[in-house]
Amino acid sequence: MWPMSPAAAIASWRRFGAQQPSFRSLRGSSETDPPNLPTRLSRMVGRDETAEAISAQVLDRGFVTVVGPGGIGKTTVAVSVAHALFAKFGGALYFVDLGALDDPSLVPSAIASTLGLSVKADSPIQALLSFVRDQRMLLVLDSCEHVIEAAASVAERIFKEASQVHILATSRESLRVEGEQVHRLPPLGCPPDVTGLKAAEAMSFLRPCSYSWNASPRAEIPLC
């Protein structure tokens, strides 16, 4: 199945999000940040349309991995998307930092711990699946590249066995599992026409396009 075009993705997001604030108004609000998410940045330069497109993909496809090199802004975008989808999931948003793990076998336990679930060491994946199977939530798996095989395996099982759990992952490489929608996030193309842009922010703009494709590399489509 071919991924949505940028215009269709944004139009879909606007239909889904018609009853909630935009990314710009959300970042400027005084609303208390959800306890299970990192604090969103007060300013995210040049990524609003990308975040809107990813939000639409998360709602439509259920499993999206934001892929790009280190330091490109994957986590920033993912956190912004999660905050914007707060109302859609009734506040059931959970951020799991897998970058802190050096043992792949701890991935299921790390996710369970974030959910507030106590699991047995000998069967954490089964306990985790039993808990999430009937839950509606958005699960953000950040920095999957550090434990890529374990993260991919757990994400695939959750996606297959818990139909109401939506997954937003970030990684330097795709997870390459069934159901995954990959959204590549390269450097930004050029500084936007805004006032007060700092030099460091301007230097982050290098390329004009981002890419989105499904699990098949042959389906790669530029989002320019």
Confidence of residue 28 (pLDDT cuts 50, 70, 90): very low
Confidence of residue 206 (pLDDT cuts 50, 70, 90): very low
Identify the DSSP state of 205.
Answer: B
**Mean pLDDT estimate for the chain:** 79
Give all domains of the chain, ordered by start, each with its CATH number.
6-15+48-223 (3.40.50.300)
Residue 33: predicted pLDDT: 65
Nearest to 91 by CA among 134, 9, 31, 143: 31
| 3-state secondary structure (DSSP) of residue 175 | coil
pLDDT per position as a tens digit, 117-162: 988 777 899 999 999 999 999 999 999 999 999 999 999 999 999 9
> pTM for the full model?
0.73
Q: Where are the beta strands (DSSP E) in the chain?
A: 63-67, 93-97, 137-142, 165-171, 181-184, 210-214, 221-223
Q: What is the mean pLDDT of residues 46-57?
A: 91
pLDDT at 216 over 70: no
Residue 43: predicted pLDDT: 64
pLDDT per position as a tens digit, 13-25: 444 443 333 444 3
Residue 118: predicted pLDDT: 87
Residue 11: predicted pLDDT: 53
User: How far is it, in rounded angstroms, from Cα 171 to Cα 145?
Assistant: 5
Q: Rg of the chain's alpha carbons, rounded to an integer?
A: 17
Percent of the chain at pLDDT exceeding 90: 58
- Answer yes or no: are the C-beta atoms of 53 and 9 closer than 8 Å: yes
- pLDDT higher at 176 or 189: 176
Residues ≥6 apart with Cβ < 8 Å to 75: 38, 142, 143, 170
